[in-house]
Amino acid sequence: MKIFIKTSWLKSLGLSLLITLLLFAAPNQAQASVTDTATTNSCPEGMVFIPGGTFKIGDDAHYPSEHGAEDVTVNSFCLDQYEVTNAKFDKFVKETGYITVAERPLSKEQFPNLSDEERKPGSLVFQMAEPGAKKIGYLSWWKWVPGTDWRHPLGPESNIKGKENYPVVQVAYEDVEAYAQWAGMALPTEAQWEYAARGGLDDATYSWGDQYSEKKANTWQGLFPVHNTKADGYQGTAPVGSFEPNGYGLYDITGNVWEWTADWYRVGHDNKAHSLEPTGPTKQDSFDPRDPQVAKHVIKGGSYLCAPNYCSRYRPAARESQSPDTGTTHIGFRLVKAIA
Ligand SMILES: [Ca+2]
Ligand SMILES: [Ca+2]
């Protein structure tokens, strides 16, 4: 998969493969009753206790990818209070010697037709459109930049010095799985993530209520991808915890960086096999019409690149698809831990 995607990019540099949307979903006969006796004391430091319950996943009033809203039930669990930071990821790398996907070159055997330059390690970096640009191609704001990785998230000249408390980015799904295994935790399912993001306001449009506010999360104000007014104070990522938490005490569950989930992606919610602790479609059933050859994971929450005129996905129900081998400047993660 990594190979397919990277090859595609390199062939058509700048194309459109990775960021996508759409979906389906499926009806479930929610019926479970949750019997939880756990308390906040059940969670490790830095994690928040999320009391289980039944809620409506998805939103039939917004993008097709969210349609097929359905009652589902999740049991109680613990969830990271913040997005995983550069400092935490650095600790993982120092202890394990882990090398992320973006730091690995493509092999000459697998890619005999690529030049040495094209096989260099790298990743995707967001680049704002030139002022006055008359024509801006879809997804043309993503550039493949050799030398980009989690320590150099905006290209080889960038670094994370002084940004220990910022969310780690440029991490592929394989990378966050390795981190989760090291941490003894797991990636949240989409249902767990969305339920937690709602913060108890299960029917609200946003994690804080029904009115959009540029002060509630790190998103993009202005005309994407041309002009960012930074009305919320940040053009790029913000230190975790810079905005108010939601009702469960979760910071940046909306905006800042998108967050990987364990679920495979399809358009809509019509493909869930069960209503209690739904886990989404199988990898084989994953399908993104915009990039049908690649099985993708669901990412949630939107990012500092989500603007009202484009990708208004700073909502709990909103979702996007992402190729597992693809880290970018605006995708990070947080983890769950089961209640003992
Ligand atoms: Ca912002
Ligand atoms: Ca986030």
Rounded distance from Cα 109 to ligand 2 centre (Å): 38
Give residue 211's pLDDT: 94
**Contact call for residues 50 and 196 (beta carbons, < 8 A):** yes
Per-residue 3-state assignment (H helix, E strand, C coil) for 59-89: CCCCCHHHCCCEEEEECCEEEECCCCEHHHH
**Contact call for residues 126 and 14 (beta carbons, < 8 A):** no
Rounded distance from Cα 265 to ligand 2 centre (Å): 18
Rounded distance from Cα 20 to ligand 1 centre (Å): 21
Alpha-carbon separation of residue 14 from 66, 156, 196, 310 (angstroms) = 27, 18, 35, 18
Rounded distance from Cα 169 to ligand 1 centre (Å): 16
Domain range 47-338, its CATH number among 3.20.20.70, 3.90.1580.10, 3.40.640.10, 3.30.230.10: 3.90.1580.10
194: which residues sit within 8 A by CB, 6+ positions away? 55, 57, 300, 316, 317
**Contact call for residues 70 and 57 (beta carbons, < 8 A):** yes
Is the backbone of residue 103 left (phi > 0), alpha (psi -120 to 50) or beta? alpha
Rounded distance from Cα 292 to ligand 1 centre (Å): 32
Q: What is the mean pLDDT of each run of 10 residues along the chain (340 residues)?
A: 40 37 32 44 92 96 95 96 98 98 88 86 90 75 93 98 98 98 98 98 96 94 92 97 98 98 95 83 95 96 93 94 94 94
pTM of the entire predicted model: 0.87
DSSP symbol at 174: H
Rounded distance from Cα 71 to ligand 2 centre (Å): 24
Give residue 1's pLDDT: 37
Helix 86-96 and helix 173-183, axial crossing angle in degrees, nearest 10: 80
Give residue 14's pLDDT: 37
Ion ligand 2 residue ranges (Cβ < 5 Å)? 252, 256, 301
**Nearest by Cα to 193 from 275, 273, 248, 244:** 248
Domains of the chain: which residue ranges?
A: 1-41, 47-338
Give residue 272's pLDDT: 66
